């Protein structure tokens, strides 16, 4: 399986969409130097292309194994992880105070896009560590931070997130795992957690579990959840490792894809843990982990989509079948218009998703670090709005793009060992975990849209219209065509937004029935806007033909559908409410 | 895994869409009696529900095995096949002259929808026999027909289709398997065939291969292909079985899904076969097999979609998560609007695809048997037009519907052993085999649309408009709403059709770039029309709320998108031609 990072596309997105210069101008990233970007991308590409990508089919075939001694990672991954740690990749965007490199978040997104693109099952391990790190950074005491963060940020230890229980998936408030005070400041955690990604493995000497559980007498539901940290091996005062904690992996799930990522059933039998943050405030801490994970899962969608695109292009160039006008004999299928159409849909979808994810990461940095309170506030709202789009729209694209990747391969795409098949199977989890895409849509129309009366979406629509005006002002026919689509898209999204704001007040069930379709439209319009933004800024460079081509194709293929999408949000929601269960009952 | 045939929906589609009464009125089906329909559906449901469905997860887990003695079917399938033969299901729609029951084709579609829905991997075995039977019926000599048809039509033997070779997939003309005359009227066939579904197994005493190969000195390309029949065991004059032929299965593919359907690599080493039809006319014979198979693959899409819908409803009723307004405590997720939206999209998509497939089967019967030449001609054109829609649009729905089925299951849907996962994996082959959906789209805009200057599509558009008028004339608000969508859909499809007819003449590559999007629009409009047709005819019955509800939901959710779909056919094709490979090149 081959993967080469699309460095030109990634660099373009970092500079034109994530606007690293604006992030650097906050003054919060003294280590950042624009000259560093190219070498970082080159080095990360080497790890991805040369080390991780060759292990991907092996991991798909072999998977992780559960032994008496615990989970054993798929062949080669321990050594790859060692190289990942040695490269210092884990700490790229984390604070120097704990050994990180203190660089802007979008740079880390760029690097982890490569890692996920080369080997998504592997990439999940640091992805979960991210969540643990961010929870400890935001909510951990000084002592907990000093104990765990340096080794998590160096990557010497990994972290995992223990949220789900059999009866508590999307509804975390239903969890029943208990945490009883031991009297010494620690707690005894007892319960079973499922779907714990990289909950156990043999790649590092220690694993740090972040665990949601209930204190005795905690209120019912989501207001009675607390967050705990529980290391696999206790950490002595001198930093050395002590005894083994009493939790263990008792089973691995058999999954469609990401076989090399162990999905653990974890049993906690009075395991010792320490409270992170306030009692009963675990939900807030969980959202700290989840928000990071949501953007990173969206990034997985970009990455696996890019990998599928590369495999599709390679196969289409190689596979000879049929004839084409003006060409002798059997031709590569890349000359067939329908194959080209699939590749164009893949390429434009992946780039739009990349733009949304990187823009979300940039907003997070500005929301945290910009010196101006108002700018921070605006960017926080932007980050909040973009997060469900980054997660759900990007992973919906991953399903579409990897599906097209299989289709380009024909019968070969249905064979288990084909790279295209692996990408399709790996991608299928992305719309599910870290909050299903339906949950993202509810988050978008609930907290994010109705929460501020549509203000953040209004700002986004203003940006879409400004971009359209700028495109029109070029007087170049292609840009003018894109401007037309963008304006029609903004009109459609505005109309749908007004409807949704009203529905969420007066007919909430109807509004929620349209949430997923609304998110799809919002992603199309925002994605189209960002592609155009990138193309406008790239006019003088060599890549201008590509960036404008992608913006124009996306505008005609997908954004053009926006006007009619309004009815599929509003009227279809009404038709569903009118008919109800008669539609599907036996 | 549980499956119960949706008898009410199927009966509705047979009576209202396939119009069994019109088919019977041709006089060609003296055995047909409307009173037979209910008992046939009931009996077939018993086979599907009680025998085949329980074997489906076992087959998924175990798969077919290749042994020294040949391919061994997954556990239980041989006994299930015996019951299938005893029920006389194979011969339902085949001529009495060869032991069939001579019933209308849509009845067989209904029965095989159940079989595929319960166990798609099993259903593929008779599906391939169908192709073999139809090739022999249309092109075989009396002797070949007498030798093979009675046992194929009884199901005592099965048939397989040997088309693909490693270098010859979609481009059948590239095949190199040779057939040399033996001097006794038979031929020695030598070559390798791949992707041969049920090419070998131990369920029946004989297997009849239909094989494409080249005669010595045959012209190059698709005009030099001939069709041969080659039995696994030769048939003596008295009908008993003689020696073993010299072909065998030398490998089984490892596939994403349909694990219980052996996908064989077949090696022919001078295997003895007999010519079917004229030398070098194998392509026509292949299309006889393919057209049957294409409709049946579309039917698989319907079936696996229905199975996914049933699993989705069952899980959504069972799984408790979160709260709902006006309800106490944790509620079944079927009360969540987003889940309802998924179920409604699944139910309406499956029913629209069912209507298209059954309408296609009905057109085939009328095209063959109607006493009036003009009616036969009109229906032949209708069958030809509907075949690529039945195949591609239905299987695209299968991908969408089984994907939603996984999504409803959340994390559980990603687990290999879940029924929802099996349906998703099984379904993935349907847009690929028997001509990829891209090939179907080329067939639609080439042979079917440009071939008659748009006449058959014009007739279809007139039907859509007539249905819209009839819906409007009811003066019922829901029907009037559907009429609006149908008319807008007809306008859009008309506009896209005119563009496509022009493009295929003057800018063929551009036209072909829009073929897949054009097929999607055509399927949406035709599907919406047939749902409305069914609802109009069902007004007085108990099921009226459901049929109208499905038509109304489909009209708002999907048909409403038709107006904007035109640009995604025409302008996107142009944007693609303008930009070309710069969009996806590294």
pLDDT of residue B542: 63
Q: Work out the minimum CA distance from A500 to partner chain B, whole angstroms.
A: 14
Question: Cα angle vertex B270, ends B266, B273, to 5°?
Answer: 85
Q: What are residue B469's phi and psi, to 5 degrees? A: -60, -45
Q: How far is CA B9 from the centre of its chain?
A: 18
Kindly state the average pLDDT of the residues B13-17. Answer: 96
Contact A552 B575 (CB under 8 A): yes
- Which pair of tokens denotes residue B144? 């070949």
Report the distance separating Cα A127 and Cα A160, nearest Å.
Answer: 9
Is the pLDDT at B543 greater than 80, yes or no? no
Strands (DSSP E) along B7-128, which ranges?
65-67, 70-72
Q: How far apart are CA A11 and CA A16, in angstroms?
A: 8
pLDDT at A328: 82
Hey, which bits of A27-75 come out as E strands? Answer: 65-67, 70-72
pLDDT one-digit tens code per residue, B129-138: 999 999 999 9
Q: Residue A543: its pLDDT value, please?
A: 77
Alpha-carbon distance A428 to nearest alpha carbon in chain B (angstroms): 7
Q: Do A411 and B433 touch (CB under 8 A)?
A: yes
CB-based contact A331:A324 (threshold 8 Å): yes
Task: Tell which phi-psi region holds residue A93, choosing left (phi > 0), alpha (psi between -120 and 50) or beta.
Answer: alpha
- Cβ contacts of B13 within 8 Å, gap of 6 or more: B110, B351, B354, B355, B358, B534
Contact A556 B545 (CB under 8 A): no
A562 chain-B contacts, CB cut-off 8 A: 564
Please name the member of B336, B403, B411 whose beta carbon is closest to the beta carbon of A433.
B411
Region of residue A250 (phi > 0: left; psi between -120 and 50: alpha; otherwise: beta): alpha
Full set of structural domains in chain B with CATH: 287-579 (1.20.140.10)
CA distance A517 to chain B (A): 9
Helix B394-409 vs helix B337-369: crossing angle, to nearest 10: 160
Pairing verdict, β B207-213 and B158-162: parallel
Distance CA B506, CA B496 (A): 15
How does A114-139 read in b/e, with b if 16+ C-beta sit within 10 Å? bbbbbbbbbbbbbbbbbbbbbbbbeb
Note whether B171 contacts A322, CB cutoff 8 Å: yes
| Chain B residues close to A561, C-beta within 8 Å | 561, 564-565, 567-568
Residue B303, judged by CB atoms within 10 A of its CB (0-12, 13-18, 19+), counts as buried
CA distance A349 to chain B (A): 11
Residue B298 vs residues A111, B52, B384, B431: alpha-carbon distances, Å: 43, 20, 14, 9
DSSP B332: B
Give the pair of three-digit tokens for residue B342.
């998924």
* Residue whose entry in the numeric block shows the structure tokens 């907003």: A363
CB distance B345 to B557 below 8 Å: yes
**What per-residue confidence (pLDDT) applies to A507?**
96
Q: Is B43 a catalytic residue?
A: no
3-state SS, one letter per residue, for A454-465: CHHHHHHHHHHH
- pLDDT over threshold 80, residue B1: no
Query: What ipTM goes with this model?
Result: 0.97
Instruction: Give CA–CA dist A252/A264, Å, rounded.
Output: 5
> With a threshold of 0.95, does the pTM exceed it?
yes
Residue A7 and residue B250: Cα distance in Å, rounded?
44
> Contact A565/B561, CB-based, under 8 Å?
yes
Query: Using CA atoms, how far apart are residues A4 and A6, in angstroms rounded to an integer?
Result: 6
Quick one: average pLDDT of B409-432?
97
C-beta atoms of A346 and B584 within 8 A: yes
Q: Taking CB atoms and an 8 Å cutoff, what residues of chain B touch A310?
A: 586
- Of the partner residues A253, A437, A549, the one whose CB lies closest to the CB of residue B582: A549
Judged on CB neighbours under 10 Å (0-12, 13-18, 19+), B456 is buried
The pLDDT score that the predictor gives to residue A97 is 96
Question: B337 and A568: CB-CB below 8 Å?
Answer: no
Q: Which residue of A has its CA nearest to B442?
A: A338
Q: Is A395 exposed, middle or buried (0-12, 13-18, 19+ CB in 10 A)?
A: buried
pLDDT category of residue B586 using cuts at 50, 70 and 90:
low
pLDDT tens digits along B252-274 = 999 999 999 999 999 999 999 99
DSSP reduced 3-state for A230: strand
* Cβ distance of A256 and B416 shorter than 8 Å: yes
Q: Which residues of B touch A256 (CB under 8 A)?
A: 414-416, 421, 424-425
Measured CA angle at A56 (ends A15, A320), to 5 deg = 85
Q: With contact defined as beta carbons under 8 Å apart, do A365 and A105 qualify?
A: yes
Q: Which of B171, B414, B573 is the closest to A432 by Cβ?
A: B414
- Per DSSP, what are the bridge partners of residue B268? B191, B247
Residue B325: the pLDDT is 78
Render each residue's pLDDT in chain A as its tens digit; 586 residues: 799 999 999 999 999 999 999 999 999 999 999 999 999 999 999 999 999 999 999 999 999 999 999 999 999 999 999 999 999 999 999 999 999 999 999 999 999 999 999 999 999 999 999 999 999 999 999 999 999 999 999 999 999 999 999 988 888 889 999 999 999 999 999 999 999 999 999 999 999 999 999 999 999 999 999 999 999 999 999 999 999 999 999 999 999 999 999 999 999 999 999 999 999 999 988 888 888 899 999 999 999 999 999 999 999 999 999 888 778 888 999 999 999 999 999 999 999 999 999 999 999 999 999 999 999 999 999 999 999 999 999 999 999 999 999 999 999 999 999 999 999 999 999 999 999 999 999 999 999 999 999 999 999 999 999 999 999 999 999 999 999 999 999 999 999 999 999 999 999 999 999 999 999 999 999 999 999 999 999 887 767 899 999 999 999 999 999 999 999 999 999 999 999 899 998 6
Residue A25 CA to chain centroid, in angstroms? 26
B10, B575, B577, B582, best to mutate vs chain A, most A CBs in 10 Å: B575
Tell me the mean pLDDT in the region B396-409. 98
Three-class secondary structure of residue B488 per DSSP: helix
Instruction: Convert the pLDDT of each residue in B150-193 to its tens digit.
Output: 999 999 999 999 999 998 888 888 999 999 999 999 999 999 99
Considering only CA atoms, which of B92, B85, B95, B197 is closest in space to residue B146? B95
**Integer CA distances (angstroms), B333 to A433, A504, B320, B343, in order:** 17, 19, 6, 11
List active site positions of A.
434
Contacts of A511 by beta carbon, 8 Å cutoff, 6+ apart: A445, A500, A503, A504, A573
Provide the phi-psi class of B241: left if phi over 0, else alpha when psi is between -120 and 50, else beta: beta
B304 close to B426: Cβ distance less than 8 angstroms: yes
Question: Do A472 and A480 contact (CB within 8 A), yes or no?
Answer: yes
Closest listed residue to residue B16, CA positions, set B470, B465, B537: B537
What pLDDT does residue A464 have? 98
Mean pLDDT of chain B: 96
pLDDT band at B285 (very low <50, low <70, confident <90, very high): confident
Please, are residues B166 and B249 in contact by the beta-carbon 8 Å criterion?
no
- Report helix, strand or coil for B231: strand
The whole-number pLDDT of residue B540 equals 75
pLDDT at A329: 82
Q: Which residues contact B194 (CB under 8 A, 6 or more apart)?
A: A411, B164, B165, B166, B253, B265, B266
Give the span between the Cα atoms of B199 and B207, in whole angstroms: 8
Helices (H), B327-428: 337-369, 373-388, 394-409, 419-427
| Closest partner CB to A432 (pick from B320, B413, B575) | B413
Quick one: which H or E segment has residue B242? strand B241-244
Which chain A residues are within 8 Å of B413, Cβ to Cβ? 432
Q: Has residue B465 got a pLDDT over 90?
A: yes
Q: Tell me what pLDDT residue B170 has.
A: 84
Q: Which residues of A touch B579 (CB under 8 A)?
A: 344, 545, 549-550, 552-553
**Cα torsion angle, A120, A90, A526, A451, sign:** positive
Which residues of chain A make contact with B546, given a CB cutoff of 8 A?
582-583
d(CA A463, CA B410) in angstroms, rounded, equals: 35
* Helix, strand, coil percentages in chain A from 3-state DSSP, rounded to 5: 65, 10, 25
CA distance B92 to B74: 26
What is the 3 state secondary structure string of B260-278?
A: CCCEEEEEEEEEEEEEECC
Q: Which of B433, B512, B581 sits opposite A338 (nearest CB)?
A: B512
pLDDT digits (tens, 9 = 90+) for B121-130: 999 999 999 9
């Amino acid at each position: 399986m081959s993967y080469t990072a699309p460095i030109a596309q990634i660099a373009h997105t970092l500079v034109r969409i994530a606007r690293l210069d604006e992030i650097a101008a906050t003054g919060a990233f003294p280590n950042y130097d624009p000259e560093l970007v190219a070498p970082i991308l080159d080095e990360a590409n080497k790890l991805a292309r040369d080390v991780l990508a060759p292990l991907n089919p092996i991991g798909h075939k072999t998977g992780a194994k559960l032994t008496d001694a615990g989970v054993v990672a798929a062949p080669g991954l321990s050594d790859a992880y060692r190289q990942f740690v040695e490269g210092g990749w884990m700490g790229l965007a984390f604070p120097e105070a704990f050994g990180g490199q203190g660089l802007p978040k979008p740079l880390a997104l760029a690097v982890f896009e490569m890692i996920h693109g080369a080997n998504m099952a592997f990439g999940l391990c640091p992805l979960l560590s991210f969540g643990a790190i961010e929870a400890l950074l935001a909510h951990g005491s000084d002592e907990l931070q000093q104990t765990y963060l340096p080794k998590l940020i160096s990557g010497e230890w990994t972290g995992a997130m223990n949220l789900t229980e059999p009866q508590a998936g999307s509804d975390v408030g239903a969890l029943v795992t208990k945490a009883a005070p031991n009297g010494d400041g620690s707690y005894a955690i007892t319960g079973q957690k499922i779907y714990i990604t990289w909950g156990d493995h043999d790649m590092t000497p220690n694993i740090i579990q972040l665990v949601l559980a209930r204190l005795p007498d905690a209120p019912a539901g989501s207001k009675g959840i607390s967050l705990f940290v529980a290391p696999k091996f206790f950490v002595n005062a001198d930093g050395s490792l002590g005894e083994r904690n009493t939790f263990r992996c008792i089973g691995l799930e058999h999954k469609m894809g990401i076989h090399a990522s162990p999905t653990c059933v974890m049993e906690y039998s009075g395991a010792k843990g320490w409270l992170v943050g306030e009692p009963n405030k675990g939900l807030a801490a969980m959202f700290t982990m989840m928000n990071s994970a949501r953007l990173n899962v969206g990034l997985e969608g970009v990455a696996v989509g890019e990998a599928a695109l590369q495999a599709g292009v390679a196969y289409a160039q190689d596979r000879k079948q049929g004839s084409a006008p003006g060409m002798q004999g059997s031709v590569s299928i890349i000359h067939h218009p329908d194959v080209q159409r699939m590749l164009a849909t893949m390429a434009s979808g992946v780039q739009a998703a990349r733009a949304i994810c990187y823009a979300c990461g940039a907003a997070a940095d500005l929301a945290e670090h910009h010196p101006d309170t108002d700018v921070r506030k605006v960017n926080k709202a932007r980050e909040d709005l973009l997060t469900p789009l980054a997660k759900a729209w990007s992973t919906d694209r991953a399903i579409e793009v990897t599906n097209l990747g299989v289709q380009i391969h024909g019968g070969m795409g249905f064979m288990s060992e084909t790279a295209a098949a692996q990408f399709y199977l790996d991608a299928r989890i992305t719309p599910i975990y870290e909050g299903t895409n339906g949950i993202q849509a509810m988050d978008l129309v609930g907290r994010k849209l109705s929460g501020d009366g549509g203000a953040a979406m209004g700002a986004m629509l203003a940006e879409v219209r400004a971009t359209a005006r700028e495109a029109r002002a070029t007087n170049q026919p292609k840009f003018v065509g894109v401007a037309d689509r963008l304006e029609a898209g903004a009109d459609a999204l505005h109309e749908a937004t007004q409807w949704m704001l009203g529905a969420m007040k007066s007919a909430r069930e109807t509004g929620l029935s349209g949430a997923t379709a609304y998110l799809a439209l919002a992603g199309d319009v925002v994605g189209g806007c960002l592609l155009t933004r990138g193309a406008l800024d790239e006019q003088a460079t060599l890549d201008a033909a590509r960036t404008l081509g992608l913006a124009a194709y996306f505008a005609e293929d997908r954004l053009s559908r926006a006007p009619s999408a309004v009815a599929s949000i509003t009227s279809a929601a009404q038709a569903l409410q009118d008919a109800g269960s008669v539609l599907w009952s036996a």
